[in-house]
């Protein structure tokens, strides 16, 4: 075999693998689950914002169009209040239809158009990272056959479901080319890879400073573990390294048989961790919902076989499955003429539009129909005007400093063993943490007796890009055991203080 034949053979193998990767036919179980979950998550955000739709998205309120930030004024039309209220309610209806798989393709197209528009109308709260990812997912779902299984559409087409569990045990499910599912997989992989590249260029991420300051606040939502984790900064720094390595490796290992459970398991743990530590709720639910696009037909067949085996064994599982099957059959739609489903769908849209407009009209958010008349703006108190218009206050010196900790060991730029008692002759490390942003500072650190007399003093420049300054003291054995304190000063003023205790050496105690 000459070189030309070798090249031709390898090219054919690559072409076959490419064709198999994108155009192999499978039952779209994974896309069906994504279709159920992602619109359901977005529906929750739509329901919480609907009472404020007139204020957020219409000309009657105060919309914040995303295009205005880039000086593309009037890029999209700002709708009247009543129209915005009705369309926002229709968006919720379309998302619900997507989730149950009713008029799936039309519902997905309407959802992606309306959701994108309303996100562009409110760049403050609705145009977020998860909304950008979700709109891409909805678009991919709209060009796929995600409604062919596990949907109302499949029931209404008259497919005869098997009488024994599972639903498609006797009927061969439809198969389609897998390229939409691959596009969604590539999307989530590239999102993680791009996030890793961004974090590599973000100062303070790998050291954990960015995550720690984020965890200290409740900017997103309340979280139970954020403040607790800030006490262990080295753990936060290690988690930052693990997260960035996982985001880079995700695109390379997730399509391998052994790598898929590892990549998806770490991803699920990562997103669940952000819920408890950073207060992120919607983004983790959207991301974990998209993970089901990696579900293969073989996975569903394997799970179905295990459940059938468990069903044949009888017992509580069989009883509960029979009860669930009878309940499903009771409410299962019967096969109907194909024209009836679009008619009912359009009727539902009209009903939602009318009901939402009527409910919002009765709520009367601007008090137009109140007995005392329309709500009016009240003049602001002169004191508040003066407070708002006065020159910007200079940050207090103590507000530039976050904390001071004392210990003996450092790892990755962080003090790992905070303590307040030290032996005479033991090296003492003092770490002073600063709040961003700050200018270049000269920081003094004094080791003082309880009476205030300075025993040791040290100082250094804390550049504006640094968030930590470390000082080292070595209490000599000539010092008396007792209580001392660490004083941190800036511009001659004490901003932080930490009490410490010096203990006699073990040999002296033995004598």
Kindly tell me the sign of the dihedral angle through the C-alpha atoms of 48, 51, 53, 55.
negative
User: What are phi and psi for residue 387, nearest 5 degrees?
Assistant: -65, -40
Side-chain half-sphere CA neighbours of 147 within 13 A: 24
Q: How confident is the model at residue 353 (pLDDT cuts 50, 70, 90)?
A: very high
Tell whether omega for the bond before 167 is within 30 degrees of 0, i.e. cis. no
Separation between Cα atoms, residue 69 and residue 192, nearest integer Å: 26
Separation between Cα atoms, residue 413 and residue 404, nearest integer Å: 14
Separation between Cα atoms, residue 415 and residue 431, nearest integer Å: 7
Give yes or no for a contact between 84 and 134, defined as CB atoms under 8 angstroms apart: no
Segment among 131-145, 194-208, 472-486 with least mean pLDDT = 194-208
Domains and CATH numbers, the chain: 22-177+338-365 (no CATH), 182-295 (no CATH), 400-510 (2.60.40.1930)
Write the pLDDT tens digit of every residue in 374-406.
778 788 888 888 888 888 777 888 889 988 999
Write the pLDDT tens digit of every residue in 222-233.
888 888 888 888
Write the pLDDT tens digit of every residue in 128-149.
999 999 999 999 999 999 988 8
Q: How confident is the model at residue 3 (pLDDT cuts 50, 70, 90)?
A: low
Write the pLDDT tens digit of every residue in 422-449.
988 888 999 999 988 888 999 999 999 9
Separation between Cα atoms, residue 179 and residue 311, nearest integer Å: 34
> Could you tell me which residue, 412 or 363, shows the higher pLDDT?
363
Q: Is the pLDDT of residue 410 over 90?
A: no
Tokens standing for 207?
Answer: 């050291």
Write the pLDDT tens digit of every residue in 261-276.
999 999 999 999 999 9
Mean predicted confidence (pLDDT) in 505-511:
58
Separation between Cα atoms, residue 102 and residue 92, nearest integer Å: 14
Counting residues of the chain whose pLDDT is more than 70, the rounded percentage is 90
Question: Element (H or E) spanning 93, and its range?
Answer: helix 81-100
Q: How far is CA 26 from CA 23, 148, 172, 299, in A?
A: 9, 12, 12, 12
- Model-level pTM greater than 0.95? no
Q: Return mean pLDDT, the chain.
A: 86
* pLDDT value at residue 125: 87
Q: How far is CA 279 from CA 71, 115, 223, in A?
A: 33, 24, 5
Write the pLDDT tens digit of every residue in 29-61.
999 999 999 999 999 999 999 999 999 999 988
Write the pLDDT tens digit of every residue in 274-323.
999 888 999 999 999 999 999 998 888 888 888 777 767 766 666 777 67
Question: What is the C-alpha R_g of the chain?
Answer: 31
* pLDDT value at residue 169: 44
> Could you tell me which residue, 158 or 126, shows the higher pLDDT?
126
Q: How confident is the model at residue 107 (pLDDT cuts 50, 70, 90)?
A: very high
Question: Element (H or E) spanning 22, and its range?
Answer: helix 3-23
């Amino acid at each position: 075999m000459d070189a030309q034949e070798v090249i031709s053979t390898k090219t054919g193998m690559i072409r076959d693998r490419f064709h198999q990767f994108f155009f192999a036919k499978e039952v779209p179980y994974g896309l069906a689950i994504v279709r159920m979950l992602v619109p359901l998550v977005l529906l929750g955000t739509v329901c919480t914002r609907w009472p404020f739709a007139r204020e957020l998205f219409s000309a009657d309120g105060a919309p914040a169009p995303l295009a205005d930030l880039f000086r593309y004024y009037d890029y999209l039309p700002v709708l009247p209040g009543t129209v915005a209220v009705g369309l926002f309610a229709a968006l919720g209806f379309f998302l619900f239809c997507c989730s149950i798989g009713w008029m799936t393709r039309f519902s997905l197209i309407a959802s992606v158009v309306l959701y994108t528009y309303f996100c562009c109308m409110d760049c403050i709260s609705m145009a977020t990272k998860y909304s950008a990812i979700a709109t891409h997912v909805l678009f991919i779902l709209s060009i796929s056959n995600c409604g062919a299984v596990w949907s109302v559409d499949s029931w209404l087409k008259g497919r005869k479901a098997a009488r024994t569990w599972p639903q498609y045990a006797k009927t061969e499910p439809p198969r389609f080319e897998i390229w939409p599912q691959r596009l969604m997989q590539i999307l989530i992989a590239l999102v993680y890879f791009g996030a890793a590249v961004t974090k590599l260029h973000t100062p303070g991420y790998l050291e954990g400073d960015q995550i720690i300051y984020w965890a200290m606040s409740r900017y997103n939502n309340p979280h139970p573990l954020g403040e607790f984790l800030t006490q262990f900064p080295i753990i936060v720094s290690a988690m930052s390294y693990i997260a960035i390595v996982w985001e880079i490796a995700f695109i390379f290992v997730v399509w391998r048989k052994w790598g898929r459970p590892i990549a998806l398991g770490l991803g699920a743990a990562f997103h669940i961790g952000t819920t408890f530590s950073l207060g992120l709720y919607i983004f983790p639910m959207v991301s974990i919902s998209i993970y089901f696009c990696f579900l293969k037909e073989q996975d569903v067949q394997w799970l179905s076989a295990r459940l059938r085996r468990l069903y044949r064994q009888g017992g509580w599982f069989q009883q509960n499955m029979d009860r669930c099957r009878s309940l499903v059959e009771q409410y299962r739609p019967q096969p109907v003429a194909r024209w009836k489903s679009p008619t009912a769908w359009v009727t539902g849209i009209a009903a939602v539009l009318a009901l939402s407009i009527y409910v919002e009209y009765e709520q009367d958010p601007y008090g137009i129909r109140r007995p005392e008349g329309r709500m009016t703006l009240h003049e602001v108190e002169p004191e508040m005007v003066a407070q708002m218009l006065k020159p910007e206050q200079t940050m207090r010196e103590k507000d530039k400093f976050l904390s001071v900790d004392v210990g003996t060991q450092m790892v990755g730029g962080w003090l790992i063993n905070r303590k307040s008692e030290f032996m005479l002759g033991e090296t003492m490390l003092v770490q002073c943490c600063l709040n961003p942003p700050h200018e270049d500072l000269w920081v003094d650190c004094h080791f003082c007796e309880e009476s205030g007399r300075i025993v040791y003093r040290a100082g250094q420049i804390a550049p504006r890009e640094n968030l930590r300054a470390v000082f080292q003291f070595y209490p000599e054995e000539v010092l008396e055991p007792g209580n001392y304190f660490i004083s941190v000063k800036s511009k001659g003023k004490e901003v932080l203080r930490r009490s410490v205790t010096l203990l006699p050496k073990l040999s002296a105690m033995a004598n």
